[in-house]
Amino acid sequence: MSLNRAARRVLLALPALLGTASLAACVVPGEVKIAWDSPPENSTISEKTTLRFTGQILVRVTVYHGSTAVAQGVPSSDGTSSTAVLDPATLPEGPVTLTAHAWNSTADDADKFTSEADAGTRRFMIVHGSGPAPTPTPAATPRPTPTPVATSRPTPTASPRPSITPTPTPTPAPTATPGPAPSPAGGPAGRTRVTPEQFGANGSDAVDDTAALQRALDAVGPGQYLDISAGKTYRHDAVLRVSRDGAWVRGPGTILATNEEQAAIFADGDDLTFDGGLTIGLTNWTRRHDNWETFGLRSLDTSGLTVRGVNFSNAQLYLNDAANFTIANVSVTHSQADSIHMTGGSRNGTVTDVTATDGGDDGVAVVSYQQDGAPCKNITITRARVIGTRGGRGISVIGGTDITYVDSYVERSDAAGIIVAAEPSFKTWAPRGVRILGATVVQAVRGTVGHPAVLVNSEETDAELSGQPLDDVVMRDITIRDTNPSKASNVRVDTARGATLHRIVLDRFTITGGPSTALYTNQGPSVLTTSNWTRNGVPISP
């Protein structure tokens, strides 16, 4: 580490500065770097535990679960390390993914930082009380160094729905049903444990387990669960299918696809559950998907799907025509498409505490195509955290009715951090009844597309939208920091091609840095209402 003399002086004074409540805040010059030190990945945490970080110029460190801060760091005298005490009582029991972020400014002057860095994610098993600790989850497949993907799109848009050409799964050879394995502690209550090994899988070497794993998935139904145990990695080179209603697949082991063209797990039964720290991964995802078989976990026409505490590595969570679904404590890393994508009229669902890192398109997306017959409806996404996108937006509503995002955080998106739009190129429905309540967008629009940090837009006419134009959008408590200053504005609300907007409310926007123009719009006050805006701490009337 090489620091200039002034930086060293400030860092050496930090313990005294931070302990003096009346002292003015400070910013330490130089580049911030941070990395996880301990505890190791997949450690079990059942009591207050010290998290340790290493790096340089670690003035302020915050640990997050989703978008919620759960611990604050205390820096060393020279700024090369920081410690934070984590109380497991503040987190849900089971597998969780934490992230840590560092800045070179103290909390009293948080918005004046000149350098920041992210330590990436680290998974832990949280245990409450004195009961036996669950087996820790094995480390997920390491994320390869991302390769920027060139795009010819002038504007990042919703992923086109590919034509469905499903590959039929061969009927497995008749197999005698083995006797049930004893259910270990930690299995779902009232369910009998089934293992892939009972159907011939290995799970501990490089041998392909496709056929055995499919036999196991075919066998598991109500009253049973398939145990993907800790330390096990089951490899498959063809599409897997989970079709029996009530099937339950539990980690914390790994299901790893080795064939990019046939990497999907099709979930097309009702009342399916995937949980327990399960990792669903792909050895290497080199290009954007162009057929159904290349998704990670893909649901189609399902009801009652639950995905809880699951980690996707080089894979995607894709919900198509899903009803009454629950997604919680999910992390998606290095997809080559939208990290979490809801489409096909998906409805009546909740998405809570999800993290999308280094995605190939949008972080969390609700997309409604007119060809599906009905838009997505009644979906609430709470505490979505998007860290880095390549070619896409942070959180999006590209058509959909009664869609709500609460407490979102988007950082380093290539395009807009937040977008609510109707897109003619993909013939989407218009968004209607959309709420974005509490969101922070940092360093948006890193790419070349001409987006602002926050975009509301329609380019579809009322006739093209069957008389249902973009209507009733409320964004409230939005913080925007350090948008690419080369862009035209921080926020844009506009139309083209004769489209119309109705009832747009933008309330309590706090903007720091970025382009000199806070808001660009071609809409009048009968359509757009703005209130309680500030820019660099000064009230404005955009």
Task: Enumerate the β-bridge partners of residue 509.
Answer: 478, 533
| pLDDT of res. 26 | 73
| CATH numbers and ranges of domains, the chain | 5-126 (2.60.40.10), 192-540 (2.160.20.10)
Question: Is 170 in a helix, a strand, or coil?
Answer: coil
- What's residue 4's pLDDT? 47
Distance CA 472, CA 527 (A): 10
* DSSP E strand boundaries for 127-171: none
CA gap 337, 317 in Å, rounded: 10
End-to-end CA distance of the chain: 44
Contact 32, 103 (CB under 8 A): yes
Per-residue pLDDT of the chain (542 residues; tens, 9 = 90+): 444 444 444 444 444 444 433 333 478 888 889 988 888 877 888 888 999 988 999 999 999 887 688 999 989 878 899 999 999 888 887 677 888 888 898 877 777 788 888 888 887 878 776 433 333 333 333 333 333 333 333 333 333 333 333 333 333 333 333 333 433 446 899 999 999 999 999 998 788 999 999 999 999 999 999 999 999 999 999 999 999 999 999 999 999 999 988 889 999 999 999 999 999 999 876 666 555 556 789 999 999 999 999 999 999 999 999 999 999 999 999 988 899 999 999 999 999 999 999 998 999 999 999 999 999 999 999 999 999 999 899 999 999 999 999 999 999 999 999 999 999 989 999 999 999 999 999 999 999 999 999 999 999 999 999 999 999 999 999 999 999 999 999 999 999 999 999 999 999 999 999 999 999 999 999 999 999 999 999 999 99
Instruction: Determine how β-strand 347-359 pairs with β-strand 377-389.
Output: parallel
**pTM of this prediction?**
0.68
Per the structure block, which two tokens stand in for 28?
Answer: 């330490």
Query: Which pLDDT value is given to residue 122?
Result: 84
Residue 215 DSSP SS3: helix
- Between CA 203 and CA 23 the distance in angstroms is 58
DSSP state of 332: E
8 Å CB contact between 329 and 309 = yes
- Separation between Cα atoms, residue 236 and residue 225, nearest integer Å: 19
Report cis status (omega within 30 of 0) of the bond before 39. yes
- C-alpha distances out from residue 465 to 365, 368, 420, 458, 462, Å: 20, 12, 15, 10, 5
For 467, counting Cβ atoms within 10 Å of its Cβ (0-12 exposed, 13-18 middle, 19+ buried), the class is: exposed
3-state secondary structure 17-38: HHCCCCCCCCECCCCCEEEEEE
Residues forming a β-bridge with 419: 396, 455
